[in-house]
């Protein structure tokens, strides 16, 4: 694989690698498009923190932005992002099951 492509892929995963960003994506998955003010309220985090994480997701194309007057709305740009998170959850679930089997053997 060419180096620039691997850097782009790594940057995409890096944008997904913060708990607040995962929480934001989970909200957007469940609600579709949301105003920043709604995301702030649901997460209980300050607006500047949420905006910083939304900007990181937007920079790599994970979410897209729409302005309406003074309000900013975001939604997941590609539904395959949901699939990536679902795959990771599935892998982690399998890891937990394997760990439980091992512990059950003792």
Query: Of 10, 17, 9, which is closest to residue 53 (Cα–Cα)?
Result: 17
DSSP secondary structure of 27-67:
HHHHHSSEEHHHHHHHHT--HHHHHHHHHHHHHTTSEEEEE
Would you state the structure tokens that stand for residue 22, as one six-digit string? 């995962």
87-104: pLDDT as tens digits: 999 999 998 888 877 777
Q: What is the pTM of this model?
A: 0.85
Q: What is d(CA 8, CA 14) in angstroms, rounded to the nearest whole number? A: 10
Q: Is the pLDDT of residue 46 over 90?
A: yes
54-88: pLDDT as tens digits: 999 999 999 999 999 999 999 999 989 999 999 99
The whole-number pLDDT of residue 1 equals 54
Query: Of 38, 18, 16, which is closest to residue 27 (Cα–Cα)?
Result: 38
Q: What is d(CA 39, CA 30) in angstroms, rounded to the nearest whole number? A: 12
Which pLDDT band, with edges at 50, 70 and 90, does 26 fall under?
very high
CATH no., domain 3-77: 1.10.10.10
Domain ranges of the chain: 3-77
């Amino acid at each position: 694989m060419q180096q620039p492509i691997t850097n782009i892929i790594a940057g995409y995963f890096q944008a997904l690698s913060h708990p607040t960003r995962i929480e934001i994506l989970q909200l957007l998955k469940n609600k579709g498009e949301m105003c920043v003010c709604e995301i702030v309220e649901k997460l209980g985090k300050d607006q500047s923190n949420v905006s910083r994480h939304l900007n990181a997701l937007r920079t790599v194309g994970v979410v897209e932005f729409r302005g309406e007057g003074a309000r900013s709305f975001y939604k997941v740009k590609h539904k395959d992002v949901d699939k990536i998170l679902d795959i990771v959850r599935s892998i982690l679930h399998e890891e937990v099951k394997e760990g439980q089997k091992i512990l059950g053997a003792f």
